[in-house]
Structure 1
Amino acid sequence: MPPYTLVYFPIRGRCEPMRMLLADQGQTWKEEVVTREDWRQGTVKASCLFGQLPKFQDGDLTLYQSNAILRHLARTFGLYGKDQREAALLDMVNDGMEDITNRFVQLLHNNPEEGKAQYLKELPGYLKPFETLLAQNQGGQAFIVGDQISFADYRLLSLLLNFQVLAPGCLDDFPLLSAYAVRLSGRPKLKAFLASPEHINRPISTFLKK
């Protein structure tokens, strides 16, 4: 049996960075898919500590909250920077991505099509800080922080790939981010995962068909 179990909806959503991290680190995991119908029945929701998914099982350790899960995996696989300074910067980057993720959910919740249009209008402003961070780190030739891949890189790559599905060409004005996405997507194990049906066939969110 795989050592890890992810319990989540049949979407990329907040679990895709975890899946990408696990795949790139050569790990296997089990997926337990919760459909909308399952969730509406209320039994699964009632069993969740905070009433939400994802749920992550690592042996006898059960975790909720996607950022806690991602950071747990980062510590497990040495993906939290090489020192406290890098760890602090990674936390900052991750919190920045949390802001734009929450904005995405907020805009799409009531009217997906109008919300999507508004989000894409705002997208360049969301991308600019990450282009700046890349430029400040070895001229954009390395990772978002430091010279080793981190949990924040998987989350950022997941966002960038989603943005490119929603708005092809959105990285044209951000050459460092564009090259970064290509470079990370080319990592052999990650490339294989991104080409798999498990990734391709999952929609980005419950709000969108893509």
Structure 2
Amino acid sequence: MADGERLASVTWLFGQPERDSVTEQAASPSQPTTADAPRGRHEPPTRAERASRAGEFQRINNVSMHALARRGMSVAEMRDYLIGREFDQHEADEECDRLLGVGLLDDFALAETLIRTLRQRKGLGRSGVTAELRRRRLENDAIEAALEDLDDDELARAIDLAERRAPQLRSLDTETATRRLSGFLMRKGYSSGVVRAAVDRALSRSGESSGPVFR
């Protein structure tokens, strides 16, 4: 065999594995290509991602707006409501922050509204109002601020309630009427001192023509 032919055979023999290795690397799926590389951290979301986020916002927004259309809600009530509708904690917090930002959630305003309703429609005393505000899970700061502005007319309200209730006890003796009227006012959240004064005032009118006559 000629020297040139032997040289060519040796070159082919030792060069072949290198070419095969290059070919295998090019064909290997484990090597990422430019097209498969992940997007950079600061790249804008794709159209599909934007559509998905818009859909998620629309769904939670529909749920929260439907809830607020029925009644006012505290921040804690709304958060629990959304989680109960199978939104996660992060989604619920974000929606509550948004509603706070546009004024649709406001524990301070809700506390003032509830106080007017509880006192004017239900005739609740201070402790009754406080208990209801806490049951609605309003923020402590909102409760304290609302109670500070509460007008100090507990006795006048209790007397008014007692005098309107007293005629229903007309057929009872004074002791029974006192007990029932006192229990009625205490369930409304009035203090014992206010209850005692209001009951005495209401029953003292028993001798008047317009008041109840107790046995």
- Asked if Structure 1 and Structure 2 have the same fold, meaning a TM-score greater than 0.5 normalized by the shorter chain, the answer is no
Q: TM-score range by the shorter chain?
A: under 0.3
Structure number having the greater helix percentage: 2
Structure number having the greater strand percentage: 1
- TM-score after normalising by structure 1: 0.23
- TM-score after normalising by structure 2: 0.23
